[in-house]
Chain A
Amino acid sequence: MRIACFVESYNFKFKQEKEALEIFKKTAEDLGHSFTTLGDEILHYIDKFDSVFIRATTDPLFTSYVVSRLAEEMGKKVIDDSESIRVCSNKVALYYRLKKNSIPIPKTIPFFGDFENLESYANKLGFPLVVKAPNSRFSLYVEKANNYDELVKITKRFMRRSKALILQEYMPTAFDWRVGVLEGESIYACKYFMPKGGWRVRDSIEGRKVWGKVKAVKVENLPKKLRKIAERAAKSVGNGLYGVDIKEVDGDYYVIEVNDNPTIMHGDEDTKNPELYEKIIQALVS
C-alpha cells in the first residue's frame, strides 16, 4: 500500500519529532508499504496514494483540513479524519461531545460573550478558573483567572479573536495523563509533568517558554479506570488516533482534552510502547 504523510516544516522543531517520522517510514517499509512525506504539493497527488497520514497542525483553517477532506472525498483512509479535526480543534465542539457522552470532565461552561452572566458563571466554577480559547493548542491562549477582574480582562482579550470561549474549573495537578488511543484501543501512555513553577505543560516561567518533563508509562500498567475513560473519551470523537489528556484527583479522572494529531516524539511517547508505530501503520493500511 502507498501511504502519503502530509507534513509542514514548522511542525518539526524538535529532532525527536523527525526521528519519530523516520521510524514511521522504516516501519511502513519493513511491512512492505511505501511511505512518502509531502508538503503542500500533496494536494496534487492524493489520488496516487491509498491512505493519508497527517502529521501537520490540524485545524479547519489550515491546509491539513483540506488535505483530509479531499482524501476522504477520494475514498482514502485518513488519519486524521475531518470530523476528528473539527471536534478536537475546537474546545467548544469537544465540550459538547464529551458532555453528550457523559465523559467525566472538570466543571465547564461555554461562554459566548454574554458578559451579563459572567459573574454567575464564575461563582459556579469558583476561583481560580481556567479560560481557554476554542482553538488553543500547546497551552497557548489558556490562562488562569484568580479573581473577577482578571477574568473580565482575559475574556475581553480572548473574545477579540473568538466568538466563544471555554471557562473551566481549575484542577491543580503535578502532571496530566496523556493516553494515546487508536481505533478505540490505548496504544501508549505518558505523564506530562508541569514545569517547576508552572501550572500548564508548556508554561511561561520568568518570561521563558518552558516544557515540563515527559515520563512514559507502559499502557498495560495503566489503572483500568483511567484506560477505560481515555478510550471512552476518544470514542466520543471518533475512531482515529487521539491523545487524551486526563487529570487525576483523589483517584478520580477528568478528561480535559482529546487531541487529534497527538505529538509523538522518539524517546518520549514511544519509550514504553514502541509498537505504537506498527499499530498506526497497520491502521492506515487496513
Chain B
Amino acid sequence: MILVGEGEDLEPPDSFMKRRVSGKVLNLLGDYRYLTKGYYVSLHAEENGCEVFPPVKNALDAYRAPLFISILRKLGFETPEFEIVCNPKPEACVLLPLNPFSKNSAKVVKNSYQYLKAFRSLSMNRYPVVQVKAEKIEIVDMYLTKTNKEEYSFVAETLFRTLKIPLGKVFFEVNGEKVKPFYFAPLEKDEINFELIFEVLNNENSLFC
C-alpha cells in the first residue's frame, strides 16, 4: 500500500506522480476536487492500473450534492429534501454549489437577504444551485471509517467501504434526535488529523480487502 500525502511517513504527491506505480494507493491529500493535486494523484494511480482510494469518479460524485444525496439514498440513509434551482426561491435553507469551484462554499441562510447574496455567489449568474431544506447543521470530519465525533462514524464506515473516499467533511441536518447526511466537502490540509488516520490504519485489518 502506498500512502500519498503531505506529512511524515507519506510519499509526497510530486514524487509519486513522476514514477510508475502499482498495487494499492491511499491518497491522503484530503482535497480531491477536479484539477487539484489530490485529483491528479488518484488519476495517476488509476491510469497506472492501481486500486486507489478515492477513485476519481467517486471523488467527483461525492462533491456534487445531487449525486451524493442520490448515493446516500441508495445506501439507505435518510436525507433532507433538496431541489436544484435555476432561479432564486428564498427560504431558510442550506445553499450548495452544483459544482464545487471553491472550498467551503456551503451557505446556511436564514433570511432573503442572506439567501440572495449566497445564490448570486454560488450560481455565478450561470449555474444552477442546490437548495437543501435544513436549518440546523453539524459538520464532522471523516477519517477513513471514523469521524472526529464518534456518534457519526456509522456514516463514515459505509461511505469509505462503498465510495472508497478516505478523507472529507460530512454535513448533516440535525433535527432533534435525527441526523441526516447531505453533503460532502474536502478537508483542508491543516485540518487533517494524521494521528487519527494512523490509529484507524493500525487498528482495522480489513480496511482494504
Q: Which residues of chain A have a CB within 8 Å of any CB of chain B? A: 39-41, 43-44, 60-63, 65-66, 69-70, 73, 82-83, 86, 90, 92-93, 96-97, 100, 110, 112-114, 134-135, 162-164
Contact residues in B for A62 (Cβ distance below 8 Å): 99, 127
Contact residues in A for B188 (Cβ distance below 8 Å): none
One of B30-38, B112-120, B201-209 at the interface = B30-38
The 21 listed contacts between A and B (C-beta, < 8 Å) are A40-B128, A41-B86, A43-B84, A60-B99, A61-B35, A65-B60, A65-B64, A65-B99, A66-B98, A66-B99, A69-B60, A70-B70, A73-B67, A82-B57, A92-B43, A97-B47, A112-B13, A112-B17, A134-B35, A135-B35, A163-B35
Q: Complex: how many Å from CA A90 to CA B35? A: 9
* B149 interfacial contact with A, CB 8 Å: no
Do A163 and B40 form a contact, CB below 8 Å, given A43-B128, A60-B34, A73-B67? yes
Which of A43, A90, A93 interacts with B66 by CB under 8 Å?
Answer: A43
Do A40 and B57 form a contact, CB below 8 Å, given A62-B99, A66-B67, A70-B66? no
B123's nearest neighbour on chain A, judged by CB, is A40
- Asked if A70 contacts B67 (CB within 8 A), the reply is yes
Contact residues in A for B66 (Cβ distance below 8 Å): 43, 66, 70
Beyond known contacts A61-B35, A90-B43: 7 more, CB 8 A cutoff: A40-B128, A65-B60, A65-B64, A96-B47, A112-B13, A112-B17, A135-B35
Contact residues in B for A73 (Cβ distance below 8 Å): 67, 70
Which of B18, B56, B61 interacts with A112 by CB under 8 Å?
Answer: B18
* B14 interfacial contact with A, CB 8 Å: yes
5 pairs of A and B residues whose beta carbons are closest in the complex: A96-B47, A60-B34, A43-B84, A40-B86, A163-B37
Do A86 and B60 form a contact, CB below 8 Å, given A112-B14, A112-B17? yes
Do A96 and B57 form a contact, CB below 8 Å, given A43-B84, A61-B99, A70-B66? no
Contact residues in A for B99 (Cβ distance below 8 Å): 60-63, 65-66
Do A83 and B34 form a contact, CB below 8 Å, given A92-B40, A112-B18, A112-B40? no
Which of B37, B56, B128 interacts with A63 by CB under 8 Å?
Answer: B128
Q: Complex: how many Å from CA A135 to CA B39? A: 14
Which of A39, A69, A134, A164 interacts with B67 by CB under 8 Å?
Answer: A69
Contact residues in B for A39 (Cβ distance below 8 Å): 86
Shortest Cβ distance from residue A46 to the other chain B in the assembled complex, whole angstroms: 10
Q: Complex: how many Å from CA A92 to CA B101? A: 19
B37's nearest neighbour on chain A, judged by CB, is A163
Q: How many residues of B contact A (CB 8 A)?
A: 27
Q: Complex: how many Å from CA A112 to CA B70? A: 34
A164's nearest neighbour on chain B, judged by CB, is B40
A8's nearest neighbour on chain B, judged by CB, is B126
Q: Complex: how many Å from CA A41 to CA B86? A: 7
Q: Contact mask B1-35 → A, CB, 8 Å, 1/0?
A: 00000000000011001100000000000000011
- Asked if A69 contacts B61 (CB within 8 A), the reply is yes
Contact residues in A for B64 (Cβ distance below 8 Å): 65-66, 69
Shortest Cβ distance from residue A130 to the other chain B in the assembled complex, whole angstroms: 20
- Asked if A86 contacts B67 (CB within 8 A), the reply is no
Contact residues in A for B17 (Cβ distance below 8 Å): 110, 112
Q: Complex: how many Å from CA A135 to CA B127? A: 19
Q: Complex: how many Å from CA A63 to CA B124? A: 12
Shortest Cβ distance from residue B56 to the other chain A in the assembled complex, whole angstroms: 6
Q: Complex: how many Å from CA A66 to CA B190? A: 30
Shortest Cβ distance from residue B85 to the other chain A in the assembled complex, whole angstroms: 9
Contact residues in A for B70 (Cβ distance below 8 Å): 70, 73
Contact residues in A for B84 (Cβ distance below 8 Å): 43-44
Q: Complex: how many Å from CA A90 to CA B99? A: 17
Contact residues in B for A69 (Cβ distance below 8 Å): 60-61, 64, 67
Q: Complex: how many Å from CA A162 to CA B40? A: 11
Q: Complex: how many Å from CA A10 to CA B70? A: 30
**Which of B13, B40, B61, B127 is most buried by chain A, counting CB atoms within 10 A of its CB?**
B40
Q: Complex: how many Å from CA A285 to CA B116? A: 41
